[in-house]
Amino acid sequence: MSVHPGPMNPSKPASASGPPSAGAGAKKIRRAPLVPKDETPDQTLKRLARRRVTEAIKRIRLVGNLSSYRPTEEQAKLILKALDDEMNAVERRLLQQPGVKQDAAFSLS
């Protein structure tokens, strides 16, 4: 009968039952590249824009759901100004107009 380390067998320490360490003999897992080698810049743009814009729209809709918490007019204007400022920055970047990068943090306080 073999003795297994762990909490069910108090004679052996539980720390002895961890996963094998990634020592010198451990193999690294190679993953397929996220971008196909033959993808053109236009194809990359379309692939990334589809995902990122869709996600941004979902997040903006979540911001709209804040209306259920009855923000004051001042709070609503602060939220809308922050979103508007960021959209203006995105517009400048997409249209290759220089602009100043601003902090992504937002607070009503």
The pLDDT tens digits for 48-96 are 999 999 999 999 999 999 999 999 999 999 999 999 999 999 999 999 8
DSSP code per residue over the chain: -PPPPBTTBTTS-GGGGSPPP--TTPPPPP---SS-TT--HHHHHHHHHHHHHHHHHHHHHHHHGGGGG---HHHHHHHHHHHHHHHHHHHHHHTT-------------
Position 37 scores a pLDDT of 85
| ∠ Cα 74 75 78 (to 5°) | 90
State the distance between the two ends of the chain, measured CA to CA, in whole angstroms.
65
How far apart are alpha carbons 41 and 49 in whole angstroms? Answer: 12
pLDDT of residue 47: 94
pLDDT of residue 33: 61
The pLDDT score that the predictor gives to residue 17 is 53
Q: In this structure, how many other beta carbons lie within 10 angstroms of the beta carbon of residue 51?
A: 10
Q: Would you say residue 42 has pLDDT above 80?
A: yes
pLDDT in tens, 10-34: 555 555 555 555 566 677 887 756 7
Position 61 scores a pLDDT of 98
Predicted local distance difference test score (pLDDT) of residue 54: 97
Say what the pLDDT of residue 55 is: 97
For residue 8, the model assigns a pLDDT of 55
Q: Side chain identity at 29, as an amino acid letter? A: I
